[in-house]
Amino acid sequence: MKRPVDSFRTLFAAALVLGCAASAAAQVARVAGLVKDESGQPIKGATIRAENPDAPLGSLTAATDDKGRFAIIGLARGEWMFTAEAPGFQAQFTELNIVRTGTPLPPLVFAMPKAIVRPPAGVEGLTAKDLQQQLGAADALFQQQKFEEAVGIYRSILRGAPSLGVVNLQIGAAYRNLKDYDKAIAAYNDLLKAEPENAKAQIGAAMASLEKGDSQAAEQGLTRAAAAPGSSRDVYYSLGEIKSAKNQNDEAIGWYQKAVAADNSWGKPLYRLGTLAMNKGDKDAALKAMSQVLAVDPTSPEAEQARTAIEQLKK
């Protein structure tokens, strides 16, 4: 619940937030944009990755909302490579040279064609067109949240092309949406039998274990996933949550900080850093973290909680 505050405190908090935002804007840039398919329909859940090995934060990621929109903040000056990826679509790339920070940049628009699927070597009786049609139908059902029907088609694809094991990623994701975590883990493990180093399968299995409530298996899997290439902010944040639940707060702080480094426009790990600082009685660190939540993620649920926390800390 939002608590009433006097006008002086309101103005003080607002000035603090605006000051943090102005300072951040002076040093980094923000890029926003849109991801759509070839017919112009927005693609929800696409991953956008910005990479610049010479920048202090050399890799930043974001995901599109239900209207295909995304935003990435924290980009330093220099040459950046942007990659857009989504299941069932061909990855798209573009470069952007950021010469000035703190000023609006032109939006990035990605138009993603459907993935071209070629049958694996040794597969008989299936053509690229067959696979393309089946994958398109399964992906469409997945997007419509008809997960059981989508799984049926994905499994049919695997029967016709057993070496196309990457389809298990979609099967695992469908079962996670259905909250059938045992079947999700089994699907990821099927892929890991053929590709033991597949990072996405490692992460998927660990996240399914976490959602199932098996924190020990989740921690083991997430720790492996965190060390693998392609790890994500969700892996780091989830490890922070596991460590925090065990009252291993110093380790939790380390993982939350990694989540912030992976995506410094995400309020959740910043808020958790703030709450841990409050629990330790470190008001300065708590105020700093809570103010950062408001500066980088002002419309998130955590922002509302951060405002309440700042009011309490200012008393």
CATH number of the domain encompassing residue 163:
1.25.40.10
Locate tokens 């922070």: which residue?
240
Does residue 147 surpass a pLDDT of 50?
yes
Q: Are residues 189 and 146 in the same domain?
A: yes
Q: Which 3-state string (H, E, C) describes 33-102?
A: EEEEECCCCECCCCEEEEECCCCCCCEEEEECCCCCEEEEEEECCEEEEEEEECCCECCEEEEEEECCCC
Q: Which of 87, 112, 137 delimits the end of a domain?
A: 112
pTM, two decimals, is: 0.51
Domain residues for the domain of 19 are: 7-112
Does residue 213 surpass a pLDDT of 50?
yes
Q: Residues 245-270: what's their mean pLDDT?
A: 92
Q: Are residues 89 and 155 in the same domain?
A: no
- Reference 267, options 222, 303, 233, 235; nearest CA is 303
Q: Which of 68, 86, 112 delimits the end of a domain?
A: 112
- Which phi and psi (to 5°) does residue 32 adopt? -125, 165
Q: Are residues 108 and 135 in the same domain?
A: no
**pLDDT at residue 126, rounded to an integer:** 55
**pLDDT at residue 57, rounded to an integer:** 80
Q: What percent of the chain has pLDDT over 70?
A: 85
Q: Are residues 158 and 258 in the same domain?
A: yes
Say if 309 falls within a structural domain: yes
Say if 118 falls within a structural domain: no
Say if 141 falls within a structural domain: yes
Does residue 7 surpass a pLDDT of 80?
no
Say if 120 falls within a structural domain: no
Q: How far is residue 143's CA from residue 166's CA, in Å, rounded to a whole number? A: 18
Q: Are residues 88 and 143 in the same domain?
A: no
Q: Which of 80, 112, 144 delimits the end of a domain?
A: 112
Q: Are residues 191 and 288 in the same domain?
A: yes
Counting the structural domains of the chain, the total is 2
Least confident of 67-81, 144-158, 194-208, 291-305: 194-208
Q: Are residues 93 and 226 in the same domain?
A: no
CATH number at residue 76: 2.60.40.10
Q: Are residues 146 and 108 in the same domain?
A: no
Does residue 71 surpass a pLDDT of 70?
yes
Confidence of residue 181 (pLDDT cuts 50, 70, 90): very high
Confidence of residue 23 (pLDDT cuts 50, 70, 90): very low
Confidence of residue 230 (pLDDT cuts 50, 70, 90): low
Confidence of residue 258 (pLDDT cuts 50, 70, 90): very high
Q: Residues 230-256: what's their mean pLDDT?
A: 89
Per residue in 107-136, pLDDT (tens digit) is 899 998 887 555 444 444 556 667 778 888
**pLDDT at residue 160, rounded to an integer:** 79
Does residue 234 surpass a pLDDT of 70?
yes
3-state secondary structure of 106: coil
Q: How far is residue 56's CA from residue 98's CA, in Å, rounded to a whole number? A: 14
Q: Are residues 29 and 164 in the same domain?
A: no
**Cβ 98 vs Cβ 77: under 8 Å:** yes
The token duo for 187 is: 């699907």
Confidence of residue 170 (pLDDT cuts 50, 70, 90): very high
In the sheet that 29-37 helps form, which strands lie side by side, from edge to edge?
69-75, 29-37, 108-112
Q: Are residues 174 and 309 in the same domain?
A: yes
Q: How far is residue 305's CA from residue 231's CA, in Å, rounded to a whole number? A: 28
Q: How far is residue 98's CA from residue 158's CA, in Å, rounded to a whole number? A: 44
Confidence of residue 215 (pLDDT cuts 50, 70, 90): confident
Q: For residue 272, how many other CB atoms are within 10 A of its CB?
A: 23
Strand partners, 110: 35
Q: Are residues 291 and 256 in the same domain?
A: yes
Confidence of residue 184 (pLDDT cuts 50, 70, 90): very high
**pLDDT at residue 116, rounded to an integer:** 58
Q: How far is residue 153's CA from residue 57's CA, in Å, rounded to a whole number? A: 41
Say if 121 falls within a structural domain: no
Q: Are residues 81 and 175 in the same domain?
A: no
**pLDDT at residue 191, rounded to an integer:** 92
**pLDDT at residue 264, rounded to an integer:** 87
